[in-house]
């Protein structure tokens, strides 16, 4: 299947508040809502919803839920978005993953605490990987693969996945967002196996500090340096998101030189309601468009509009737009 997402599914318990309390302080918030989330689930929904109609049914999710009502809702949301859930397992001994989220109403910025629950049991074995990615006939050597596996750090062993896929199915593009950031997972060997690296400015500098021993003020330059570190075959692309400013990218597949980064500005939004899931929408947006043959510049522009729609309403999964909604917004 062209897009496989491996990762977390969380039930998001979201409190909307004027301010976040200090340690020891009790503060009266304004409202509370349940939403669906988890970086893995958000990325799977984004990848699927952001595909044109004729490509629906080409995204699948690998993950775990608990044997509880949260788990059923999370799985159903994927089914409703036409994501294949054959490899979403229900773990009897665990509850579904949960995220406790505080959203500051003035800015829409969030603070997130996650409890892994069933996500913590997602530790695929060699046998599992063979099942997920059965060997298929090799594509003609000139034909570049547009198959992707999307990964983040919300399950226990993403580095094992990266290593297995790159060793055994090298033509699949590994798309990785090192979030939530874990310094112990950053090493040059792993990064040399990644094909599409998407990270925010904080994560980019945290990686730089670990691998280059310094941080950068110029994200263009950092994107170029990171692009030299990742796998030089396949799609070989780095995107650094810069929040309300926009994003920069460098790609071997881009028409412009891979020695300079290109900048895509953000879309100005009158009122940012909730930024939760914006990064996941952007990630799914870039991969979905690349998987159907768009060039990187078009994919980043499309994903920028998609995530600008996500932040206009509450919740992560529920606010991820469709392909048609993004098209309409751009017209
Ligand atoms: O990226 C946003 C997501 O992070 C939320 O949906 C929450 O579940 C956490 O995983």
* Ligand 1 atom 8, closest CA: 38
19 lies in some domain:
no
pTM of the model: 0.95
3-state secondary structure 241-265: ECHHHEEEEEECCCCCCCCCCEEEE
Q: Pocket of ligand 1, candidates 12, 64, 280: which has the most ligand atoms within 8 Å of its Cβ, to mutate?
A: 12
What is the pairing mode between strands 3-6 and 59-66? parallel
pLDDT tens sequence for the chain (331 residues): 699 999 999 999 999 999 999 999 999 999 999 999 999 999 999 999 999 999 999 999 999 999 999 999 999 999 999 999 999 999 999 999 999 999 999 999 999 999 999 999 999 999 999 999 998 865 544 455 689 999 999 999 999 999 999 999 999 999 999 999 999 999 999 999 999 999 999 999 999 999 999 999 999 999 999 999 999 999 999 999 999 999 999 998 776 666 889 999 999 999 999 999 999 999 999 999 999 999 999 999 999 999 999 999 999 999 999 999 999 999 9
pLDDT at site 144: 57
What is the 276 CA–ligand 1 centroid distance (Å)? 7
What is the 255 CA–ligand 1 centroid distance (Å)? 34
CATH number where 308 lies: 3.40.1190.20
229 lies in some domain:
yes
55 lies in some domain:
yes
Residue 155 is part of which domain span? 3-8+37-94+119-330
Atom from ligand 1 closest to the CA of residue 279: 1
Q: Which residues are within 8 A (CB) of 41 and not within 5 positions of it... i.e. 6 or more apart?
A: 7, 8, 9, 10, 61, 63, 74, 77, 78, 317
99 lies in some domain:
no
Domain count, the chain: 1
What is the 33 CA–ligand 1 centroid distance (Å)? 14
144 labelled ligand-binding:
no
How crowded is the C-beta side of 272, counted as CA atoms within 13 Å?
19
**Would residue 80 show up in a list of annotated catalytic residues for this protein?**
no
CA–CA separation, 68 vs 11, rounded Å? 11
39 labelled ligand-binding:
yes
108 lies in some domain:
no
26 lies in some domain:
no
Atom from ligand 1 closest to the CA of residue 280: 1
* Ligand 1 atom 2, closest CA: 277
Instruction: List the structure tokens of 43.
Output: 């990325």
264 lies in some domain:
yes
pLDDT at site 141: 47
Exposure string over 142-165, b if 16+ CB within 10 A, otherwise e: eeebbbbbbbbbbbeebbebbebb
Instruction: List the structure tokens of 257.
Output: 């030189």
* Contact call for residues 65 and 37 (beta carbons, < 8 A): no
40 labelled ligand-binding:
yes
Residues flanking ligand 1, CB < 6 Å: 8, 10, 12, 37-39, 42, 99, 112, 114, 154, 276-277, 279-280, 316
CA–CA separation, 192 vs 142, rounded Å? 22
What is the 35 CA–ligand 1 centroid distance (Å)? 10
137 labelled ligand-binding:
no
Across the chain, where does the E strand assignment appear? 3-6, 10-17, 31-37, 59-66, 84-91, 97-104, 110-115, 148-152, 173-177, 196-200, 237-241, 246-251, 262-265
Apex CA 19: angle with CA 18 and CA 23, to 5°? 155
Q: Pocket of ligand 1, candidates 14, 41, 42: which has the most ligand atoms within 8 Å of its Cβ, to mutate?
A: 42
What is the 111 CA–ligand 1 centroid distance (Å)? 10
How crowded is the C-beta side of 230, counted as CA atoms within 13 Å?
30
Q: Is 167 left (phi over 0), alpha (psi -120 to 50) or beta?
A: alpha
113 lies in some domain:
no
38 labelled ligand-binding:
yes
């Amino acid at each position: 299947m062209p897009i496989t997402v491996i990762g977390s599914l969380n039930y998001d318990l979201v409190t909307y508040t004027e301010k976040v309390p200090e340690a020891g302080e009790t503060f009266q918030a304004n409202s509370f809502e349940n939403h669906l989330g988890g970086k893995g689930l958000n990325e799977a929904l984004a990848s699927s919803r952001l595909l044109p109609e004729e490509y629906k049914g080409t995204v699948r999710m690998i993950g775990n839920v608990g044997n509880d009502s949260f788990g059923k809702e999370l799985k159903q949301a994927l089914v409703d978005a036409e994501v294949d859930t054959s490899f979403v397992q229900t773990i009897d001994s665990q509850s579904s993953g949960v995220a406790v989220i505080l959203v500051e109403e003035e800015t829409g910025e969030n603070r997130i605490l996650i409890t892994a629950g069933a996500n913590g049991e997602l530790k695929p074995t060699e046998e599992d990987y063979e099942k997920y990615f059965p060997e298929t006939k090799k594509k003609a050597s000139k034909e570049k693969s547009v198959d992707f596996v999307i990964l983040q750090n919300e399950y226990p062993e993403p580095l094992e996945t990266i290593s297995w896929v790159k060793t055994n199915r090298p033509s699949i593009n590994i798309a990785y967002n090192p979030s939530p950031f874990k310094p112990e997972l950053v090493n040059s060997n792993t990064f040399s196996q990644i094909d599409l690296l998407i990270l925010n400015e904080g994560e980019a500098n945290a990686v730089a500090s670990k691998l280059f021993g310094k941080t950068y003020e110029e994200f263009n330059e950092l994107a170029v340096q990171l692009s030299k570190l990742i796998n030089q075959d396949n799609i070989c692309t780095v995107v650094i998101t810069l929040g309300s400013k926009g994003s920069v990218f460098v790609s071997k597949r881009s028409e412009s030189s891979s020695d300079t980064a290109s900048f895509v500005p953000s879309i100005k939004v009158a009122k940012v309601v909730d930024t939760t899931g914006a990064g996941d929408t952007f990630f799914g947006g870039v991969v979905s468009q690349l998987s159907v043959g768009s060039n990187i510049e078009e994919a980043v522009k499309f994903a920028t509009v998609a995530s600008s729609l996500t932040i206009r309403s509450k919740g992560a999964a529920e606010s991820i737009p469709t392909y048609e909604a993004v098209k309409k917004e751009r017209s």
